[in-house]
Structure 1
Amino acid sequence: MAGFEDASLSLDDFLGGQVRLLQPKQGYRAGVDPVLLAAAVPAEPGARVLELGCGGGQALLCLAARIRDLRLTGVELQPDYADLARRNAAQNAVEMTVVEADLAALPVDLRQMQFDHVIANPPYYRAGAHSPAQDVGRQISLGGATELNLWLDTAARRLAHKGYLHMIQRADRLPEMLSACLGRLGSLEVLPLAARVGRDAELVILRARKGGRAGFKLHAPMILHEGVSHLRDGENYRAEIRAVLREAAALPWPG
């Protein structure tokens, strides 16, 4: 039977305790990335939202804490994490459908559905391009075998006309993401995320629109931390980033 044993899980606060998530003590544990991804989505109440590779449901549940009455669906390949996402939805009293499936073989009923928003936080490394992790769940989360092209194709097929995709990924994989959008998605915008002033951006958030025709936008990097170096213990996020991470504020997407 799928599912983590209770003793192997911790209960962790996100968004200043507005969201409480069960996570494996050993295995994939969410950082700020899914929180930032959720904060970038300009959804309205009642919108249909699909997450590809939802893990334990972190991004969807953070989005639900900011925007009420969303119709949430997650797709997750690993049975243990799909079960964990369902448990986390119940833990936070959020209605969410979790479908256990491979992106390459979605169930027929899901393939007939359209969504206003699709979000994704795909594995950051190509399979075999990073040091192997001992935990299988963490191994898949770091370096999945599914190509980014399939992630983008699946997202485009599931989006309704004028629907939005948001994807967070390593900056060095941006060329793959942009190439996969050609002929599928338009109105591409890229928001680089840099740890500090003067640092290269390690992550990017891609925003794309089904049927969008606006020109490409490469925004100035969003800086996450104060100062040019870490000078003291404790977190030193910039005020607008702290509001995202602790108060469920929307990410201040450039106009």
Structure 2
Amino acid sequence: MTALTEDAFLGGRLCVAQPARGYRAGADPVLLAAAVPARPGETVLELGCGTGVASLCLGARVPGLHLTGVERQPAYAALARQNAARNAIALSVVEADLAALPADLRAQSFDHVLANPPYYLRTGGTPAADAGREAALGEETPLALWLDSATRRLAPGGWLTLIQRAERLPALVSALDSRLGNAAILPLAPRAGRPAKLILLRARKGGRGAFRLLPPLVLHAGDRHRSDKDDYAPEVAAVLRQGAALVWPEG
């Protein structure tokens, strides 16, 4: 990894270095961070933190969090540490595979675990040419193992928050087990009347509540893109530009 870009998030509140070629964070980790119901002073673990965008967006919104990220790619882990330092947000980054976490991390539990697992199965499709991008987007570790690792790291009553492609929903739901309850799925639709392409999941360790499929959050206003300016719905623009929390609909 050589060439880097400097990218602004949250309307310029964060400045993040990312590889010019490779996996590049966009709106997805910002939406993920906005969905985490964290409160000041709580502990947070991000599995597969990449360059740190989701954790840093969360840290910018909620003061006083104890943030830890796990990233298996050394170059991305190094960038996450640098990005945390330059934005003055405390983030401890552990270079490890989530399937083989170090003993000291396995001994800890967290109030929140968040993750943006790779979106694409590699039983079909074409792998990305860049190795870093492929590692971030092409599934090697099964989705069920992501959920198991996350659940094991949660304290009783802790919350798992995860973003994933809508087409992976069957695998995601089948990976939920009795350790997690109060599970809710929020579909993210690009425009009104269009199928959701992404979903957000929240579930609570030890929760007793029933599974809920929520009404979709529509990301963009209007029936199509009409100009060079972005056309995010107001509540989505507040998340992406001002670092607001994502308020989940009731249902």
Q: TM-score, normalised by structure 2?
A: 0.98
Q: SS at the partner of 2:99?
A: helix
The match for 1:123 among 100, 107, 118 is 118
Answer whether contact 1:76 1:99 (CA < 8 A) is retained: yes
Equivalent pairs, count = 250
Q: SS at the partner of 1:167?
A: strand
The aligned residue for residue 197 of structure 1 is 192
2:168 & 2:54 partners in 1: Cα distance? 21
Answer whether contact 2:60 2:89 (CA < 8 A) is retained: no
The aligned residue for residue 236 of structure 2 is 241
Deviations for 1:148-190, whole angstroms, at most 9, x for unmatched residues?
0000000000000000000000011111111111223111100
Deviation of 1:128 after TM superposition, in Å, equals 4.3
The aligned residue for residue 101 of structure 1 is 96
- The answer on 1:16 being equivalent to 2:11 is yes
Deviations for 1:181-237, whole angstroms, at most 9, x for unmatched residues?
122311110000000011000000000000000011100110000111112222000
The aligned residue for residue 218 of structure 2 is 223
Task: Please tell me the root mean square deviation across aligned C-alpha atoms, in Å.
Answer: 0.9
Whichever residue aligns with residue 20 of structure 1, its letter is C
- The answer on 1:149 being equivalent to 2:144 is yes
Answer whether contact 1:72 1:96 (CA < 8 A) is retained: yes
Answer whether contact 1:56 1:84 (CA < 8 A) is retained: yes
Answer whether contact 1:48 1:71 (CA < 8 A) is retained: yes
Q: Extract structure 1 runs of 4+ deviating beyond 3 A.
A: none
Q: SS at the partner of 1:153?
A: helix
The aligned residue for residue 171 of structure 2 is 176
Range moving further from structure 2, 111-120 or 172-181:
172-181
The match for 2:86 among 84, 91, 94 is 91
Whichever residue aligns with residue 254 of structure 1, its letter is P
Whichever residue aligns with residue 180 of structure 1, its letter is A
1:49 & 1:67 partners in 2: Cα distance? 11
The aligned residue for residue 136 of structure 1 is 131
Unaligned 5+ segments in structure 2 are: none
1:180 & 1:158 partners in 2: Cα distance? 16
1:183 & 1:129 partners in 2: Cα distance? 31
